[in-house]
Amino acid sequence: MIEPLWKAVSYAKQNDPTAKVLLMTPRGQRWQQSMAKDYSQEDCGCIIICGRYEGYDERIIELVDRQISVGDYVLTGGELPAMTVVDSIVRLLPGVLGGESSAEIESFSDGRTLEFPQYTRPQEFNGMTVPDVLLSGNHGEIDKWRQQQSEKISKKNTAQ
């Protein structure tokens, strides 16, 4: 039934006329980190419509600003994709992550590369060691290594 959903979205828009209405659907535009960044910087809310099983009444699209897909697969409903979209936006808001620069150096933050490898203590574990460059204290070389690793991982994991 379209009527309850139409009324709910219309009511929400009355309370926040600038809110963007997103529809979670496999046929939507692929959600990207750049989109999360854009939404995190907008001064408006989001109303997210989650289809279930067979989807939604096509006429609801009249209220939708953007149709969103989180990948080339089908789930039983739009709730998990909605959670993915919300989390990707919220984590970019000031004060959500521990360090403000945390989100700036992660995968896709530059729009194209995956994040470099991370290491913790101890320096050696089961015969595996932390790369020497990371222990050197030379921040220029560390940055260079991180960039090289990001490019290497991105090339390997995003090749199609």
- pLDDT at site 111: 57
- b/e for 127-155, b at 16 or more Cβ within 10 A? eeeeeeebeeeeeeebeebbeebbeebbe
Tokens found for residue 149: 């690793």
- pLDDT at site 9: 98
Q: What is the pLDDT along the chain (160 residues), one digit of tens a residue?
A: 899 999 999 999 999 999 999 999 999 999 999 999 999 999 999 999 998 877 889 999 999 999 999 999 989 999 999 999 999 999 999 999 876 655 555 555 555 688 899 999 999 999 999 999 999 999 999 999 999 998 998 888 876 5
- pLDDT at site 98: 77
- pLDDT at site 105: 57
Tell me the whole-structure pTM to 2 decimals.
0.74
Q: Report whether 2 contacts 60 (CB < 8 A).
A: yes
24 C-beta neighbours (distance < 10 Å), count = 25
Which regions of the chain carry the CATH code 3.40.1280.10? 2-90
Which regions of the chain carry the CATH code 1.10.1270.20? 112-158
3-state secondary structure (DSSP) of residue 128: strand
Tokens found for residue 154: 């991105």
Q: Report whether 60 contacts 24 (CB < 8 A).
A: no
Tokens found for residue 34: 């750049």
- pLDDT at site 54: 76
Q: Which CATH architecture has domain 112-158?
A: Orthogonal Bundle (1.10)
Strand 124-125 vs strand 128-129: parallel, antiparallel, or unpaired? Answer: antiparallel
Type of residue numbered 38: D
Q: Which CATH architecture has domain 2-90?
A: 3-Layer(aba) Sandwich (3.40)
- pLDDT at site 109: 57
159 CA to centre of own chain: 20
